[in-house]
Each structure stands twice: as structure tokens, then as C-alpha cells.
Amino acid sequence: MLTNVAVALVNGVAPFELGIFCEVFGVDRSDMGLPVYDFAVCSAEDRRSPTGDGHFEIVVPYGLERLESADLICVPADREATTREYPEPLLAALRGAVERGARVLSVCSGAFLLGAAGLLDGRRCTTHWMHSPTLSRRFPKARVDPDVLYVDEGPVITAAGTASGIDACLHLLRQEHGAEVANTVARRMVVPPHRDGGQAQFIQRPLPRTECDTVGEVMGWMARHLEDEITVEQLAERAAMSPRTFARRFLQETGTTPYQWVLRQRVLLAQELLESTEDTVDAIAGRCGFGNAAALRHHFLRALGTTPNAFRRAFRGPDPRTAAQAFGTVS
């Protein structure tokens, strides 16, 4: 049973990610019948720990010795995570905690600390999508998934960017105490108890730069004609190449096939239309080149892990009165 929670800080901590752990595990909600944790913030470096934004310092009451009694060690993001070296005593403390059966939970670039401790080796994990390629390069034994909000791999839980830490914490509460506790904490924090899909929902992918002007020009044409049927033969003709040469060049320049690239652009356009228009899903499917709602739903679910209607509800927002009733503020 989860009863003892510690946060491990290094200098340059990201305040928002630290605040997530303080809010979920450090607030006494016993008045609502919720669990109360023995919670502490610990420093691996200075007891007056500067934040990454440089606006203020945090006075940290405990050192690494406090981690020895924790059931869960939380690792927030820090601004220099992608390049810094971590103190060996901190790395040893994290390894020792996992060996004795404790869990560790990182948010955003906090995954780099877990990677430096060797705790991501052979494990599926995630971090903010912007940092995923760097995490993969620095820790090649880690299996980095950039398209999810969080990953639970036994004693190691990793969350993606910023607010996905809330999702990971609620997931852990759900595991430890059941859905009622997790849902009550979510209601108290005025956040959804569970979000569909993954961080791929939040990533905007502009046209990549290519070394070949011809491929770049064809990609621009593709982006302007997503509602049309597009074949490799058509694209190759526009590029004045054979279909085989064009497909090979496209893969070299973009890392994907023309078919997969068009699918992704169509899904991105569908996201935009679901957010910004009142068009039906059938109409949006036609405008995006999917033909019908069933095809759009299939590719949308496969790419983002959620349905078009669920995405629209999440990003356009519910009726204000309905939302207020969901959180118990309207009778």
C-alpha cells in the first residue's frame, strides 16, 4: 500500500511538475475520506534549490536520506536534464529504492534522471515528445514511446510533458486505492479522471525541411490536395522521377512513406476541423480525403488512440452547465 511519498529534486527543477506531486500527494484531503501520505521534498544538491525559470528558490527540508523510507519517489522535470550529469549518490539512491521494492515516477524530462540511473534499460518509457529523440540517443537500451501520456512498467512509471504527470499520478492512485479515490482526487483538482489517447493529440507537425527542393515542393502540393485521391505515380510524375525513385527519395528525406505521410496530414486536418468547425464527422471525412466517417474513425483511432467525437468533446469543451454539473457545482 502506498503511504510514503518523496520528491527528489535537483537544482533547476520545473515548478509546475513539482507542483503536480505536491498537489496530488502532499495535500491533506482526509476531510473527504481520502488517503493521507507521509510526504516530503528532498534535495540531491542544495537545500536552497533554484528553480529552472530562475524566478525563485525552494527551501528543501530533507536530503537524500529521506528517500530510503519512501514507497514512491517522484522525479519532476529539470531544465538541464537533456545535457546534465546527475550526482552519483542520487542515482544510487534511486537504484536502491527500486531494488527494495519502491516505485519511481518521472514527469517530462525527469525521465533522463531515471535513464542515468539505468532504470529505463529494457523498459518501455516516455517523455515529452520534444525530448523523445534525445532520450533514445542517450539511453539506447530504453524503449521510448513518444505517442503516449504515460507508461507504467512495473516499478518505473514515466509521464510525458507537463500536465500528463497528473494523468500518471491519477493512474497510480487508481491502481493503489481504486477508481473512487482517483476520481474524487480528480474532481477536487477539477481535472478529468482519465484522458483518452496520447500526447500525439497535442503535437503539431509542420512540413519538414528537405534537402531535395523537388520533394519539398511535392509535399506542399500534397498538403493542399488532401481531399483528393493521391497515388505515388501521380507524385512521381510531378517530381519528374520514376515511382520507385520518388518513393525511395521521399523515405530518405522524411523517414516515412508518401502514404503514411498523407494519412498523418489528413488526421491533422481532421483535428483542426473538429476543433474549429461545426461540420459533421462525415463532412470532415470528405474534406480530409477519408471518404466516410468510418474510415476517418479507423485512422483517427489508430493515430491518436481516441475517436473523432471524443476528440471534439475534449478540445471544443462541453456545454458550461454540463461541465459544472459534472464537477458538482450546479444543482
State the pairing for strand pair 150-153/156-159.
antiparallel
What whole-number distance in Å separates Cα of residue 298 and Cα of residue 149? Answer: 21
**Annotated catalytic residue, options 74, 108, 125, 169:** 108
- What nine digits make up the cell of 266? 489528413
- Distances in Å between the alpha carbon of 211 and those of 176, 206, 229, 250? 51, 16, 26, 10
What whole-number distance in Å separates Cα of residue 215 and Cα of residue 221? Answer: 10
Residues linked to residue 279 through DSSP beta bridges, in sequence order:
none
φ, ψ for residue 29 (rounded to 5)? Answer: -115, 30
Contacts of 237 (CB under 8 A, 6+ apart): none
Q: Which residues of 44-65 are buried (b: 16+ CB within 10 A; e: fewer)?
A: bbeeebbbbeeeeebebebebe
Give 35-55 as a DSSP string: ---EEEEEESS-SEEEBTTSS
Would residue 42 show up in a list of annotated catalytic residues for this protein? no
Q: How many CA atoms lie within 13 A of 96 on its CB side?
A: 13
State the pairing for strand pair 143-144/150-153.
unpaired
Catalytic residues: 108
